[in-house]
Structure 1
């Protein structure tokens, strides 16, 4: 992946509906070259999917929380993973190092709804021993992933 591919990815991350012609203009290539580069990135798995950036307030889920989960390792992880898929409040699940087993990104309609989710749905799952929640006050994306240089000083 060269600098032009990284620029293309950055442009697509900011607006995945941007036309190939506009991207070509922004990176200084022919439209056909940009189309071919995008096609290769999709085929190689560099671009895994096209997504929608949802305004969660507009759809009634303004509360975001990060939930740390500590789980046991006694053979019930499969049931835990399968159940997470059934919980629409969970947007992301990350298996993490340190004192916790997982970090979940959760959305809810209100603090009351979040409390209900925690008590009735999440904490009742198999193998969860404890959780720790932090309500997110605000969020932003300071940099696109591809524009970060590895080992930058």
Structure 2
């Protein structure tokens, strides 16, 4: 199952769609839902995060409303999972540059906290001009 987590309240991010190749089995949560956690996303799920971003944080385009660093990102996604569950893959799709750096920072924090062992982290950034590319697109960079 694919879960979309909006980590922004900006209208352009909330309207971002997925490429049709992702299929119909998609559950989407707004920032109001994601920020409270407790979504009980099952182990082995695919998570797609949509937000604005740069090399140090994701969230809203303008600072001061939703500003998520790598530690908060990890804790937020973890809080959305079912008890003791980890996702199989996390795709971070943002409007902004430096996402590979941010994704690498998430990987470092996950390694330090000894969580998400084996979870694939992939990053993609592009202007909000179309749907989130399919998982097979070359636009994704896997962060080891």
TM-score of the alignment, normalized to the shorter chain, above 0.5: no
Q: State the structure with more CA Rg.
A: 1
Q: Normalising by structure 1, report the TM-score.
A: 0.24
Q: Give the number of the structure whose residues are more often helix, by fraction.
A: 1
Q: Give the number of the structure whose residues are more often strand, by fraction.
A: 2
